[in-house]
Structure 1
Amino acid sequence: MDMTTIVVAASIPSAFTGFCFWLIEQNLKKRADNEKEEREERQKQLDEREQIREKNELCIINSVNAAIALGEATARAVQRIPDAHCNGDMHAALDYAQKVKHEQKNFLNEQALKHIIEEGEQTS
């Protein structure tokens, strides 16, 4: 056996092993890319759900505000009727509705301020 035959015989298993590792590496890279795309798609769906949830909460808040406004308007209209005898419950309910409305407004303002501050800190 001459030297060339020995070198060729030794290089064939090395080349085969290198080719196998290259195939494995390509397979892993392909799998990682697929998983990345799936994660991005899931995140997109989660972001869409979050936007829908936020819109729903805003609708609920607006509905509550509308109901309170309607209740206040009704209570004030009933108070103006001369023959209507409003008991203490009507006045207490009106006071409570105003208190809740202001508490909700203060809470939402506080949350908005926190959000603005957090956004400012993230951009800095």
Structure 2
Amino acid sequence: MDPMALIVAMSIPSAFTGFCFWMLQKHLEKREKRQDEKEAAREKNEILMVKSIGAAIALGEATAEAVSRIPDAHCNGDMHAALEYARKIKHEQKDFFVEQSVHEIY
């Protein structure tokens, strides 16, 4: 076998293998990009959920405070207990986020 035929015979499988690895790498890059996009969307969704929960608690607190100021409204202990519970949960959530942010920093 002459050297040129040997070089050609060795380079064809190497080129094919290189091409296959290149295709595989491109496929993995596309998959990783899609995964990153999904992760960003999930993170944004969670942020919006937390904000929505905060808004709902704020609205509930404002409503309970307004109703308790009406002289003819006979507020029972349930509303006051619910208001205290909402405030307690709001503070627990805030404390949790502070704790998580400290863990993320360190």
TM class, shorter-length: over 0.9
User: In structure 2, what is the Cα distance between the partners aligned to 1:113 and 1:53?
Assistant: 22
What SS does the corresponding residue of 2:18 show, helix, strand or coil? helix
User: In structure 2, what is the Cα distance between the partners aligned to 1:110 and 1:36?
Assistant: 39
User: In structure 1, what is the Cα distance between the partners aligned to 2:21 and 2:97?
Assistant: 42
- Unmatched tracts of structure 2, length 5 or more: none
- Unmatched tracts of structure 1, length 5 or more: 1-10, 118-124
Q: Which residue is 2:55 aligned to?
A: 66
Which of 104, 112, 117 matches 2:101? 112
Q: CA deviation at 1:17?
A: 4.0
What amino acid is the match of 2:32?
Q
1:99-122: per-residue Cα shift (whole Å, max 9, x none)?
1101111111111221222xxxxx
User: In structure 2, what is the Cα distance between the partners aligned to 1:45 and 1:37?
Assistant: 13
Q: CA deviation at 1:18?
A: 3.5
User: In structure 2, what is the Cα distance between the partners aligned to 1:26 and 1:96?
Assistant: 68
Q: CA deviation at 1:40?
A: 1.1
Which of 11, 19, 31 matches 1:42? 31
Q: Which has the larger radius of gyration?
A: 1
Q: Which residue is 1:18 aligned to?
A: 7
- Please say if 1:94 is aligned against 2:83: yes
What SS does the corresponding residue of 2:71 show, helix, strand or coil? coil
Superposition misfits of 4+ residues, deviation over 4 angstroms: none
User: Percentage identity across aligned positions?
Assistant: 48
1:31-62: per-residue Cα shift (whole Å, max 9, x none)?
11111111111111111111110000011111
How many pairs align? Answer: 106
Give the superposed CA RMSD. Answer: 1.3
What amino acid is the match of 1:44?
K
RCO comparison, higher one (Cα < 8 Å, 6+): 2
